[in-house]
Amino acid sequence: MLLEMNNLSVSYPEFTLHPVSFALDAGEMLTIVGESGSGKTTLARAIACLSEPEAQVSGQVYLNGRELLAMDERARRPLRMKEFALSFQNSAEWLNPSLTLAEHLREVLCRAYRGAAMAARMEELMALVGLETADLERYPRELSGGMVQKFLLANALALNPALVLLDEPTGALDIASSRGITALIQELNRRLGTAFLVITHDMKLAADLGGRTVVLYDGHVEEAGDTRALLDHPRHPYTRGLLQSAVGLNPVRDMWGIRPTTVSYTRQPHGCPFYGRCTQSLPACAGHAPELTAQPDGRLLACNRGGVLTLLECRGLCKAFGRQRVLDGIDLTLYSGEIVSLVGRSGAGKTTLARTLAGLLPLEGGGSVEFQGKAADFAALHRRLGGVQMVLQDSQAALNPRMTVREAVEEPMRLSGCFQDGAAERALEDVGLFACDSFLTRHIHALSGGQRQRVAIARALTMEPALLIADEPTSMLDPSGKANLLRMLKGLQNSRGFSMLFITHDLDSALKISDRLFRLEGGTLTRLNPNDYIQVRFDGLFDAG
């Protein structure tokens, strides 16, 4: 084992990196991801034994079987650059502006090379990272950001260390330079067998590098495992939030980021660090920190609820009207806190599937629907908080025109016996309608189409649904109204944390808001990859020539 950490912990007066344990084999690629302030750089510095003087470091760090933290600095110094090397964030700041690149390399190479051998090694290193020999006589200020990063890689590789730690290697680079550094890391890993531990907040970089990924949040490891598995099926709500926020992985989707904390509280020392931002947290999570445990698929996960919850699951769903088979063995799973879009031509059966999953049509053609792990009792789910609500396509037909706005919005709560004072006003404000007395007393028939659609959504929100099914909610709106409603729905989903099944024939709208996308055709579902439907790619704009 090349690198092994056992309960490595770092404490500062204002921040603590809680015990971290993992291992890295020779030639392996490991990426540490997380938001700014999650502890990534703190971890890298601790591994390299370069923590700030005020830090309290505990645990063990083994490199080729030798415990680094137990050594004194004199014993560790010969190992740096020869057995492991670290390239820091804000890379240009770590180069002496008064020294040429040759002089920088000479400071490292003098430990193992002399004379002609040193000169030859310099040229070899420059070629290895794609720089010219003539660049050796240049000063750091004369280099671009990508060239600086390449040179620092050359510097780190000068004495052939088995392990290189890179802190945000592409953070300040343009697209082309970032792609070049990523390809270079992959090539060096493949050709030289160098193990890389890469610190980044860029999920696309993690995806491109592959290997394994560790997810850090507020000094805690939340999830760890094979990078491809984490990207394809994140199990922790925080990991999923990072992926949903990654512009490089979602080039056409509206970005909202992970929601800010929704509660005012002082987290208890042993509480879950993600409580308050998590869309599926329970009150008990505030006082109980989950343990990082091994999962059946081999990954590590720290979540009191076992990871992202399965909200609704249908299996083998069939539906026919007379001799016409509309749904033919539909299998669909909806997870907590996500938006799934269902697209298809008019008449494909989208509304039929939506109404069946909402319990508005009977399960008479075969199949099953489960909600939160139990057979769906739709009569109860419609009449309780945290259940299922549906926004119908035609808001004019869905709302009683003789009712006032207040009566229409409060009706579901009154019928279900869970009336909450002020809930109607809050829901109306959430959908962008001013809940003043003059508006609340207006009749539905006096509203515009856009206002009626928002009232219909507010009516559903008063029941605080865990799942909102929206059937063509923008089909009757003009382009401006459609854009505003889409952003409003995504914003509500992000802030409230409900799941949404979005039914539409408009692929462009679906691409803007979806976490996952399915097409219904011929009675069957096919999952679509949104990136397959991007007509123009802009990466090449930054390429030379």
Lowest mean pLDDT of 5-9, 42-46, 171-175, name the range.
171-175
Q: Mind listing the pLDDT tens digit for each residue in 445-455?
A: 999 888 999 99
Mean pLDDT of the 81-94 span: 83
Question: For residue range 417-441, what is the model confidence (pLDDT) as tens digits?
Answer: 989 999 999 999 999 888 788 899 9
Q: Which pLDDT score, from 0 to 100, does residue 534 have?
A: 64
Maximum pairwise Cα distance, the chain = 94
pLDDT at position 533, please?
64
Q: What does the pLDDT look like over 220-260, one tens digit per residue? A: 999 999 999 999 999 999 999 999 999 888 888 888 889 98
Q: How far is CA 144 from the centre of its chain?
A: 30
Does the domain formed by 310-532 have CATH 3.40.50.300?
A: yes
Structure-token match 């006082």, residue found: 287
Cα-based distances in Å from 230 to 203, 238, 245, 518: 11, 11, 15, 21
Residues present in the chain in total: 545
| 275, amino acid identity | Y
At residue 474 the predicted structure's pLDDT band, cuts being 50, 70 and 90, is confident
Residue 200 to residue 207: CA distance in whole angstroms:
11
Place 402 in a pLDDT band, splitting at 50, 70 and 90: very high
**pLDDT value at position 90?**
67
Which span out of 167-171, 313-317, 532-536 was modeled with the highest average pLDDT? 313-317
Residue 539's pLDDT band (cuts 50, 70, 90):
low
Residue with tokens 């769906």: 376
What pLDDT does 545 receive?
44
Strand runs (DSSP E) across 505-544, as ranges?
Answer: 516-521, 524-528
Q: Would you place residue 267 in the very low, low, confident or very high pLDDT band (cuts 50, 70, 90)?
A: low
Closest-CA residue to 338 (of 487, 500, 449): 500
Class of domain 3-218: alpha beta
Cβ of 311: how many Cβ atoms within 10 Å?
22
In angstroms, the CA 166 to CA 144 distance is 18
Structure tokens at 93: 């700041």
Over range 183-190, report the average pLDDT. Answer: 93
User: Residue holding tokens 């749904």?
Assistant: 327
Lowest mean pLDDT among 86-100, 111-125, 364-378: 86-100
- Provide the token pair at 231: 């990207």
Cβ count within 10 A of residue 124: 13
In this model, does residue 535 exceed pLDDT 80? Answer: no
Any alpha helices (H) in 235-344, and if so which ranges? 237-244
- The predicted-structure confidence for 289-318, as pLDDT tens digits, reads as follows 999 999 999 999 999 999 999 999 999 999
- pTM (2 d.p.): 0.90
Tell me the two tokens of residue 232. 């394809």
Q: What is the mean pLDDT of residues 49-56?
A: 94
* Strand boundaries in 25-107, DSSP class E: 29-33, 56-63, 66-67, 84-87
More confident residue, 78 or 91: 78
Residue 272 CA to residue 222 CA, distance in Å, equals 10
Instruction: Find the mean pLDDT for residues 358-370.
Output: 89
Model confidence band, residue 396 (pLDDT cutoffs 50, 70, 90): confident
How confident is the model at residue 123, as a pLDDT?
96
Average pLDDT of the residues in 191-220? 96
pLDDT of residue 541: 60
pLDDT at 103: 96
Other beta carbons within 10 angstroms of residue 48's beta carbon come to: 22
Q: How far is CA 429 from CA 185, 414, 434, 436, 459, in A?
A: 50, 20, 6, 10, 12
CA distance 253 to 530: 9
- Percent of the chain predicted with pLDDT > 70: 96
Give dist(CA 327, CA 267) in Å, integer: 48
Look up residue 18 and give its two tokens: 């809680």
Q: How far is CA 17 from the centre of its chain?
A: 21
Other Cβ atoms closer than 10 A to 139? 15
Inform me whether the pLDDT recorded for 266 exceeds 60.
Answer: no
Helices 405-416, 449-461: axis angle to 10 degrees equals 20
Mean pLDDT of the chain: 91
CB 240 within 8 A of CB 201: no
CATH 3.40.50.300 positions along the chain are 3-218, 310-532
Mean pLDDT of 497-521: 93
Confidence label for 476 from pLDDT (cuts 50, 70 and 90): confident
Does the pLDDT at position 377 exceed 60? yes
